[in-house]
Chain A
């Protein structure tokens, strides 16, 4: 996908997340994009690693900043004590109008991610994103995945990790049933 097409898909994801109740800060968009790319195989080509608040892409972080620089999205303050939301800026609608085919091609997958994650807060997204990462990067260690998660992210308890892993398994099953993944 070319850069502007990728930006159009990210914009459509932002919009759908908000329609499903998300206040959509940068962490929300990072995790939703991770699910869109890694679980639903939308070829966005972002490189995700396990970092702060779970899977994180420095490429996507830079892209979001570039999109702000190009007036596609902007930040909007939220009430104390929260960080800002991302919202569409003046150029966003024009960019989406320019790429209707690309947006249409991935719209079902974008809607699926927004429905699943739109109502989740930062800590829940962190747990789900980390659980998907561990599910996808199973390393053959004997130690159960929930304990591995807890070891790397001590603020996620083994019980919370187990619950998140189960939720991710359920989400993967739903995506398969909806024929959104092969």
Chain B
């Protein structure tokens, strides 16, 4: 089982897998990820963005193993309160140390198995209520095909499932402190390797420099630490020497979200794709049956898009044509701080008024709010004291929240709509009072 295989990777140079991990790599659910674009239709704006979930998942596994090795290194277990929590190579519980390392890398490898075609583009509206890609990931990890692998290599699939999706997406499961930290290594909002890999990989393929940061330094400085206040609950933090790398990661995320992930043209392509899929998919939804889910990739949808764009008789013809011929809706209005002062929902008010005047089919609304909380993690100072990152870094305290709202209009009527909005904007965004709204 110790035989290592090396895979070339543009971000991490070599990704090394053992024979157990190779079994997961060769499974149908994992191979499917070769056909799921990491960034949906972003390649229509940034032609280099054609990379897939497959190589991202390998990268996440590689980084998860590196982080585990750093944070469990006895020399890095500085605070005595975490000694009993963390499996250690230098103690009798070597078996536990090795087991959790294997589980963590497997969970990292499997964390994206449930992604729909074109990743996040249409997930929110095209799955039945209560479903998301994390739930599909859980189902796949527990599936018959995967269970055979877990049985053979003696790993509990529930352990893999818990770490792969994290407590946010595994409803009803209680996480021990160790499980919470290990899942944080993969999906954590501050130092999750999922995020570290996608920022580096996306910026590499797109060709933008601002997604890059010194992840070698960052990973080397990660530590398991109690919070710096009166709570002793442990979590992932950094040694003070890595604080600037952590700041660079947070800034990279901010720039990538504002410049790439929330780019208005990227967002309207997602909307056109969703509109197409509603007409093209049976009953307008993706199936959550595993066989059907695994059989559906970007490839099937790309073929359907091309056919529909060229044949007016096919469902979704207009939407497909917007994508294939790059005749997407254009930006009419976007979130504006002055308007927000007058009405917290100014953009939605504009959308509703424009829809009434120009027809719902000609207008689309989109809204994005950054997920996650404050990046308040423990920092181990050079003097051995632990303090909040917010206290140690002026930079972290000033990174803005990413928040975007857009109203798009059909390109054919954009100029008329612009003139109309110019005349009516102030009236539209006048703030309503509670008695006008009901409760």
Contact = CB atoms under 8 A, between A and B. Distances in A.
A135 interface: no
B174 to A, nearest CB: 6
B373 A83 contact: no
A166 interface: no
Q: Which of B180, B345, B401, B433 has the most CB of A within 10 A?
A: B401
Contact of A61 (B227, B373, B435): B373
A155 B439 contact: no
Contact of A83 (B180, B390, B439): B390
B174 A91 contact: no
A126 B81 CA distance: 17
Given A98-B431, A98-B434, A122-B229, A51 B372 contact: no
Contacts, number: 133
A35 to B, nearest CB: 18
B167 interface: yes
Given A65-B372, A71-B340, A78-B391, A98 B433 contact: yes
Number of chain A interface residues as a range? 35 or more
B133 to A, nearest CB: 16
B374 A75 contact: yes
A81 B167 contact: no
Contact of A64 (B84, B177, B373): B373
B231 A90 contact: no
B371 A26 contact: no
Interface string B421-437: 00000000001111101
B434 A69 contact: no
A12 B236 CA distance: 32
Interface string A60-78: 0110111011111001011
B244 to A, nearest CB: 19
Contacts of A152: 174, 176
A77 B305 CA distance: 51
A77 B434 contact: no
Q: Which of A5, A50, A84 has the most CB of B within 10 A?
A: A84
Interface stretch (B91-99, B155-163, B203-211, B380-388): B380-388
A122 B345 contact: no
Contacts of A79: 391
- Tell me whether chain B's interface is mostly helix, strand or loop, or mixed: loop
B174 A50 contact: yes
B397 A81 contact: no
Interface of B: 81, 84-85, 167-168, 171, 174-177, 180, 227-233, 235, 337, 340-341, 344-345, 369-374, 376, 385-388, 390-391, 397, 400-403, 431-435, 437, 439
22 contacts: A2-B439, A25-B376, A27-B231, A61-B373, A65-B369, A66-B370, A68-B401, A69-B370, A69-B400, A70-B340, A71-B337, A72-B344, A77-B390, A82-B228, A82-B391, A83-B228, A95-B344, A100-B434, A122-B231, A123-B230, A123-B231, A155-B233
Interface of A: 1-2, 4-5, 25-27, 47, 49-53, 58, 61-62, 64-66, 68-72, 75, 77-84, 90-91, 94-95, 98-102, 121-123, 126, 152-155
Given A51-B175, A71-B340, A101-B435, 15 more contacts: A2-B439, A49-B167, A50-B174, A51-B180, A58-B168, A64-B373, A64-B374, A65-B374, A66-B401, A71-B337, A82-B228, A82-B391, A94-B344, A98-B433, A123-B232
